[in-house]
């Protein structure tokens, strides 16, 4: 009995130490990202992912950094490189968490980045993927505000491209706002971003 207690105590201490190291590392990675040290942050997220072994979140954030960076980059070689890295990170994330709406949303953003970068080359092949991924994410989590908001953003962009009225999707933005207000993540570092983009997307409704 004493041996069992010792083993359980050791396991508890080890788990707590590992969790503390994980939280410290993730905090540092977000700090680097906040200070515009994007590649350092992505590399740290990757290292955390390798250490954690079965946690999708570090790879998810490493992918997000590279995806977001491409929207402010003009260099074609850099864009292609970052998007390939992002896809590899998302593939890693999916091995640890299948049918994950947040990963699907991020993959939809990745495919959007390809279309924005070179619509002539990737529009036909990637637009359908974007729509499919958002639909799947919304089926899995009908009240996910990121799925609703960014799908509406995508649909508005498509509507303007085809000469249609993007205001048709404004009610979806209102819906996303309500779900952002209800959102309350219970897992540390679980995605809760996106609310700061509501005003930008709502410009299409004026």
Domains of the chain, residue spans: 12-126, 142-206
Q: Which of 15-19, 107-111, 202-206 has the least mean pLDDT? A: 15-19
pLDDT tens digit sequence for 73-119: 999 999 999 999 999 999 999 999 999 999 999 999 999 999 999 99
> What would the two tokens of residue 118 be?
């070179």
Write out pLDDT tens, residues 125-156: 999 999 999 999 999 999 999 999 999 999 99
Place of tokens 């590279």: 66
Q: Mean pLDDT for the chain?
A: 92
Nearest Cα residue to 153 out of 137, 136, 142, 166: 166
Domain 12-126 has CATH 3.20.20.70: no
Q: Measuring CA to CA, which residue among 29, 194, 4 is closest to residue 101?
A: 194
Q: What's the whole-model pTM score?
A: 0.90
């Amino acid at each position: 009995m004493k041996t069992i207690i010792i083993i359980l105590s050791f396991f508890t201490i080890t788990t707590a130490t590992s969790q503390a190291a994980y939280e410290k590392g993730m905090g540092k990675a977000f700090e680097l990202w906040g200070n515009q040290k994007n590649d350092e942050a992505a590399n740290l997220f990757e290292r955390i992912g390798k250490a954690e072994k079965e946690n999708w979140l570090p790879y998810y954030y490493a992918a997000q950094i590279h995806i977001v960076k491409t929207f402010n980059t003009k260099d074609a070689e850099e864009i292609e490189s970052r998007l390939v890295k992002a896809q590899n990170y998302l593939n890693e994330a999916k091995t640890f968490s299948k049918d994950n709406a947040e990963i699907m949303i991020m993959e939809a953003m990745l495919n959007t980045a390809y279309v924005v970068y070179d619509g002539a080359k990737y529009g036909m092949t990637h637009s359908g993927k974007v729509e499919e991924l958002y639909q799947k994410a919304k089926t899995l989590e009908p009240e996910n505000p990121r799925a609703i908001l960014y799908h509406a953003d995508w649909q508005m962009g498509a509507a303007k491209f085809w000469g249609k009225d993007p205001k048709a999707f404004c009610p979806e933005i209102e819906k996303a706002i309500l779900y952002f207000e209800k959102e309350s993540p219970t897992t540390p570092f679980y995605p809760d971003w996106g609310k700061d983009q509501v005003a930008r997307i709502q410009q299409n409704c004026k």
